[in-house]
Chains A and B, each alone.
Chain A
Amino acid sequence: MPEFTGYRRDDGRIGVRNRVAVLPTSVTASPIAEAIAAEADASVRATPHQMGTSQPDRAREQTERTLAGTGRNPNVGAALVVELGTETIAADDVADRIARSGKPVETLSIRAAGGTRAAVDRGAEVAAALADEIEEARRETADASELVFAVECGGSDATSGIAANPAVGEACDRLVEDGGTACFSETPEFIGAEHILAGRCADDEVRERLLERVDVREDMAALMGVDMRGAQPSPGNQEGGLTTIEEKSLGAISKGGTTPVRGIVDYADDLPVGGGLVLMDTPGYDVESVTGKVAGGAQVVAFTTGRGSTTGNPIAPVIKVTGNPGTWDEMANNMDVNASTVIEGDSLSTVGERVYDALLSVADGKRTAAERRRLEEFAINEIQPNELGELRGEAI
């Protein structure tokens, strides 16, 4: 059984990084959180975002769930939640939800601290103390079955569906065989292939839930005047050789591998450990989608790209996989795994093994290209529950 070393947390989960997360409850607290992380220890990371001041209830709940989930991610050893003090989301509420995992959590109110300068000073002090506290953690051996591996794609081209995605899918299959959890998301990209996924669902309940989530995403797109089935594949996709929405979506879902779909969870909801292949209902926007899966507990992310991507995450390492030989050459310092060797005749199984090896060594501490360059983005998905509820005839 493949193994790696990680940080055992009080709730039993295993982290592959040992970070202090500085979580702002709103856009107003975000610059303070960033300033705190910049002044504190190298292991401290902020998660600045645009939400949380005044959102409709369902949207606010999602923001709160995302923040609490990010704080509970096993890569986080301790957390500091920062509020201005006037938000609808209170730092104490988020902190309470994180504290249930047993890790040290502190809160900071910018108003109560005496304004921005005092808050940054106080916050940096608290974050540094938390960093000291978790520095005692030592890596111990863990089993691959304890990994929750999130997969994402962005900047797709013809090589994504034939090389990078199926290679990452092979790695997902290996992890699931070894007892771990693989998670892919981006519901808008299932459309056209949802019948294939529905056929792979472990039971009727998962199947119905999956198809319902596809319906909701289509309705949301329709609200913005987009006919997802009519608009796909895009002219750029077509130029690259993608003929139908089925073809595009089949390429997209191949990054999840071929095992049964064991469940589907909401955006930023907890992903099960040892759960096999689980989907998360997220939008197609890369950074928001990665954020949702990391909030769900994913310790490592693989990001496939054809045309190139630089994205990372403050909490989870992001492994870049490209199937495009040109991108591998031109963006060498942003890429981690070369899947374009499929084009020279390497089998997908060989390249999938390389992705799986990268997953294990990154879990074990090897830094990714995005980590080495401190490329870290964090964004919380915004939903418009009122409009959506109205469309679906639901009470808000």
Chain B
Amino acid sequence: MKGAVIDEVALVMTDDDTVATALADLEAGRELPVDGVDRCERDSVTLREDVPFGHKVALTAMASGDPVYKYGEVIGEAAATIDPGEWVHTHNCESRRGRGDVQEGEA
């Protein structure tokens, strides 16, 4: 796995990811240059809200039900519409593999 650090404050783990991880406490309004990130169809993402250290920020627009990618893998799905620059956490992203979601016999 290869990571790319954006502006010394956020980390994208793979080119397929739709979220970046904050490497510092980031404040709303901050611009992240994302022109080097394949998945992004824009040059920069503006933070719509504060994103604390270790938390995730959306790099792309996601509709409710869309997969959320980190580490190049699906870590859950959007539970609401998510705009680029939004904080992504338990309020708008849900596990696909929590008990009850797993099909009988799948695991």
Q: Which residues of A contact B (CB under 8 A)?
A: 157-159, 161-162, 166, 169-170, 192-196, 211, 214-215, 227, 229-230, 238, 240-247, 250-251, 254, 258, 342-345, 347-349
Contact = CB atoms under 8 A, between A and B. Distances in A.
B5 A244 contact: no
Given A246-B95, A250-B70, A344 B8 contact: yes
Contacts of A193: 73
Contacts of A247: 70-71, 75-76
Contacts of B2: 347-349
Given A192-B95, A246-B74, A246-B76, A241 B3 contact: no
Question: Of residues B8, B22, B70, B71, which shows the largest number of chain A Cβ atoms within 10 Å of its Cβ?
Answer: B71
Given A247-B70, A344-B8, A162 B107 contact: no
A342 B71 contact: no
Given A158-B53, A214-B107, A247-B75, A343 B98 contact: no
Given A162-B11, A166-B3, A343-B5, A244 B94 contact: yes
Q: What DSSP secondary structure best describes chain B's contact surface? A: loop
A171 to B, nearest CB: 13
Question: Of residues A158, A170, A227, A251, which shows the largest number of chain B Cβ atoms within 10 Å of its Cβ?
Answer: A158
Nearest to A192: B97
Given A215-B107, A247-B76, A241 B89 contact: yes
Contact of B3 (A157, A194, A195, A348): A348
21 contacts: A158-B53, A162-B3, A162-B11, A162-B13, A170-B1, A195-B97, A229-B97, A230-B99, A241-B52, A241-B54, A243-B56, A244-B98, A245-B95, A246-B73, A250-B73, A254-B71, A342-B3, A342-B5, A343-B5, A348-B3, A349-B2
A250 B56 CA distance: 15
A243 B90 contact: yes
A344 B23 CA distance: 9
Nearest to B8: A345
Contacts of B37: none
Nearest to B23: A343
Query: Which 9 A-B pairs have CB atoms at the shortest separation, nearest pair first?
Result: A158-B54, A241-B54, A241-B55, A244-B95, A229-B99, A247-B75, A244-B76, A246-B75, A250-B71
B75 A243 contact: yes
Given A169-B1, A243-B88, A347-B2, A158 B21 contact: yes
A243 to B, nearest CB: 5
A332 B13 CA distance: 27
Interface of B: 1-3, 5, 8, 11, 13, 21-23, 52-56, 70-71, 73-76, 88-90, 93-99, 102, 107
A192 B102 CA distance: 10
A243 B97 CA distance: 12
Nearest to A173: B1
Nearest to A194: B107
A159 B54 contact: yes
A245 B98 contact: yes
Nearest to A348: B3
Nearest to B7: A345
A49 to B, nearest CB: 33
A194 B89 CA distance: 22
Nearest to B53: A158
Contacts of B98: 229-230, 244-245
B54 A250 contact: no
Contacts of A169: 1
Contacts of A245: 95, 97-98
Nearest to A230: B99
Question: Of residues A161, A229, A241, A345, which shows the largest number of chain B Cβ atoms within 10 Å of its Cβ?
Answer: A241
A348 B54 contact: no
Contacts of B75: 243-244, 246-247, 250
